[in-house]
Structure 1
């Protein structure tokens, strides 16, 4: 699983998101990999008909109806959104909300990608069986220093914790990934995919960097 979080970067503002998603579609098809995009929330509708999964960057524990400003899972699904990130380090939520959202997305047959900062959180939340757990040490996010190089033992320990849980959760690795070498190292250490942001969004040639990452995955 190759997940690209667009955050709120200016590089994909407005119509640029369309070009970005089309590039990702070509890479996904060419290398036969599962590639998903998390656009800024207000741009989701522009690309929700994509041939690859479009995911939200965040969802709220709230209900359909009079809930102004909240992001509702049921309505995302009606807009063809396939799932969401949960508890990203830039948008942390409570344990109670995490549990409710994982169960809600599971009920809706939507993809849940739970972001955690350390192995302790992996062990805590793997019991709820999200589809994916993405381990991202906050201090390495956007640093250009890949967790697979800086803290390789973190990926190994997280992979073992998930394996010991004996359920369907898969591990993703994030934080500081900027090259194909970083990707292949993460896979080698036990990750089943990657969660990346600035390493791709801010690259001068999206096709080139996505190709580099995809080749390293296959």
Structure 2
């Protein structure tokens, strides 16, 4: 329903998103503290609080927009509840979680293409989860049941869920203008997330 005419010979949406966000992705990963020798339990908890402060309003805006093209099970991809469970496991009460600061500078999600760009970032962020969970288990004794479920939110299903998402992207026929909107939203999601984590003082 939301599809637009596809330009013959144009790069795929996935190619365009990868090219448009690659440098931002690398830059953010270098600043995340998961592999820092200085990361301790307190820093980890502050990091998850900051993640919640971005994911909660971001997912609410994205999934409440009504603009995500059909063909994907959105309900199964919401990650905020897992973050809430982790924060509870780390000792935060619901009232404390509800009072955590939340990001208000979110990407503009006013078209189906923009929603696809934001989804690309959120889904791609799950790919390194198993490595992160193992690192946190080894360093901080944090497992899925005591504050680390979000790090590997899809578990053994991560690869299949990513392939399903890529197949979903491949079915979206967007023209050059729509692809540009998708990339803009993806870049805004990456940069907005990094700026938010910077303001929360949880980055390297």
**TM-score, normalized by length of structure 1?**
0.28
The structure whose RCO (Cα within 8 Å, separation 6+) is larger is 2
**TM-score, normalized by length of structure 2?**
0.29
More helix by share: 2
More strand by share: 1
